[in-house]
Amino acid sequence: MNSGHRVRIIEARKNYGSLAALDGLSLDIKAGQFTVLLGPSGSGKSTLIRSLAGIEKLDTGSIYFGDQEVNRGPINLAPEKRNLAMVFQDYALWPHLTAFENVGYALKRRKLVPESFNMLIISALERVGLASKGSNYPHQLSGGEQQRVALARAIVANPALLLFDEPLSNLDADLRERLRIEISTLTREIGASALYITHDQSEAFALADQIGVINKGSIEQIDAPEVIYNQPATRFVATFTGTSGIFTGTVKSISKKSCVVSLGKDELTARHTVDLHIGQEVDLLVRPAATRFTTHEDNRIASTITDIAYRGRGYEHAIETKYGSLTGVFDTISHPRGRKMEVSIDPEKCIAFPRESK
Ligand code: ADP
């Protein structure tokens, strides 16, 4: 068991021409913490992770690992001196080396006697379930196995920080789920701190101790997954972490945390995490888990079923209402297209934000 780096990124800026890839981004990762940075393509995730790895240099700002400043101005600690390892989306294995040799490559700089060298490699391959495939070359391994070799290579030297750059994107859904669990377990077992970047919200929620939602080179909110989901600080955070639809209305009344929003003839109670005022035009962001077909709960509107998708545990319906459509309305039974249904919307999972001009 290792003690992971505490990582502090302070006011990081990186420009490519006039474009700010990192726009004054700050982030703190505690020792041993698993942090996921979630954001759309182009939001600056790779630039940040590459700066941590030492492949990219910040224009201004600092990066600290513990008390050691690794990047600021002329200070730029070489990647191999940072005690970290990275797992890439495309595995980045040497095609001419076997799985065993690929894993061993990460130990090259260590002054180890050959027996302990071999033992470490075998143990890393065992931990990812590939003990019997050490002599295979990458082209003799499946995509999932290649990523496991990359994972073994990342952990073999027991680094203090693991960086993951969308490592599951090239894998099938079922394999993605299994490898996600392995990444989560192994990282926590070795005690390393981790920064994992992804645009996939379900991956982020499943893996993270804390999620940072990144947009245009800065972090809009960083919190535990539950807080990000239940109290999104901005409209961007709310939409990027999953909505089944958005209704537009006007604030009719307001209390500290909740408000009543008029939508034409109907009214819906919702929560708000930012200040609103009576008469303000708002967008109601409805979380997928907020909706339920029922005829007796409050906060209800009329709808018509437009589509049904079977999901194993039950059915997800798309519905049309007078105020717009919603997807992912779950029921254990299926309702046919065209059927009229009342749908209730849990006010705790429906969040009002000031309307954004399009
Ligand atoms: P993400 O990983 O979130 O997709 P990136 O960090 O790759 O985002 O990119 C952030 C922004 O910086 C994007 O607009 C991208 O086009 C730009 N960018 C990244 N690398 C370079 C580069 N080497 N030269 C010019 N622009 C770049």
Q: What is the 3-state secondary structure (H, E, C) of 24-81?
A: EEEEEECCCCEEEEECCCCCCHHHHHHHHHCCCCCCEEEEEECCEEEEECCEECCHHH
- Ligand 1 atom 21: the closest Cα is on which residue? 16
Q: pLDDT grade, residue 330 (50/70/90)?
A: very high
Please say if the pLDDT value at position 258 is more than 60: yes
Side-chain-facing half-sphere of 76: CA atoms under 13 Å: 13
Q: Which of 18, 19, 22 to mutate to test the pocket of ligand 1 (most atoms within 8 A of CB)?
A: 19
Name the residue at shortest CA distance from atom 23 of ligand 1.
Answer: 16
Residue type, 198: T
Taking residue 332's Cβ as centre, other Cβ atoms within 10 Å add up to 7
How far apart, in whole angstroms, are the C-alpha atoms of residue 45 and residue 39? 7
What pLDDT shows up at residue 296? 87
Strand partners, 222: 212
Question: Region 65-91: what's the mean pLDDT?
Answer: 88
Instruction: Domains for the chain: give ranges and CATH numbers.
Output: 7-237 (3.40.50.300), 243-354 (2.40.50.140)
115-121 long-range contacts, CB within 8 A, separation 24+ = 120/156, 120/157, 121/152, 121/156
Rounded CA separation 342/29 (Å) = 45
The pLDDT tens digits of the residues spanning 24-68 come to 999 999 999 999 999 999 999 999 999 999 999 999 999 999 989
Atom number of ligand 1 nearest to Cα 50 = 6
**pLDDT at residue 263 is higher than 80:** yes
Return the residue whose CA atom lies nearest to atom 14 of ligand 1: 42
Over the chain, what is the mean pLDDT? Answer: 93
Mutate to test the pocket of ligand 1, among 9, 14, 16 (most ligand atoms within 8 A of CB): 16
How large is the greatest C-alpha to C-alpha distance in the chain, in angstroms?
78
In this structure, what is the dihedral angle of CA atoms 296, 298, 301, 305, given to the nearest 10 degrees?
Answer: -50
241 Cα–ligand 1 center, Å: 22
Report which protein residue has its CA nearest ligand 1's atom 5.
44
Structure tokens at 115: 């027996």
Query: For residue 194, what pLDDT is reported?
Result: 96
pTM of the model: 0.91
Residue 147: pLDDT band by 50, 70, 90 thresholds? very high
State the pairing for strand pair 84-87/161-165.
parallel
Counting from 1 in the atom list of ligand 1, the atom nearest the Cα of 214 is 3
φ, ψ for residue 304, nearest 5 deg: -130, 135
> Is residue 1 predicted with pLDDT exceeding 60?
no
Q: Relative to the CA of 39, which ligand 1 atom is closest?
A: 3
Ligand 1 binding residues, C-beta < 6 A:
16, 19, 21, 39, 41-47
Residue whose tokens read 């500290």: 256
Percent of the chain clearing pLDDT 70 (strictly above):
97
Whole-number Å distance, alpha carbon 16 to ligand 1 midpoint, is 8
Q: How far is the CA of 24 from the centre of ligand 1 (A)?
A: 15
- Please list the residues that pair with 66 across neighbouring strands: none
Write the DSSP string, 284-320.
EEEPGGGEEE-SSSSSEEEEEEEEEEE-SSSEEEEEE
Residue 47 CA: nearest ligand 1 atom is 6
108 pLDDT tier (thresholds 50, 70, 90): confident
Q: Is 348 helix (H, G, I), strand (E, B) or coil?
A: helix
pLDDT band at 166 (very low <50, low <70, confident <90, very high): very high
Q: What is the pLDDT of residues 180-235, one digit of tens each?
A: 999 999 999 999 999 999 999 999 999 999 999 999 999 999 999 999 998 999 99
* Probe target for ligand 1 pocket from 47, 50, 163, with the most ligand atoms within 8 Å of CB: 47
Provide mean pLDDT across the span 309-329. Answer: 96
What pLDDT shows up at residue 112?
Answer: 67
Residue nearest to ligand 1 atom 16, measured at CA: 42
Mutual angle of helices 143-155 and 173-190, in 10-degree steps: 10
CA of 265 to the centre of ligand 1 (A): 46
Q: How many helices (H) and strands (E) does the chain have?
A: 8, 21
pLDDT-derived band at 326, boundaries 50, 70, 90? very high
Query: Average pLDDT, stretch 261-285?
Result: 95
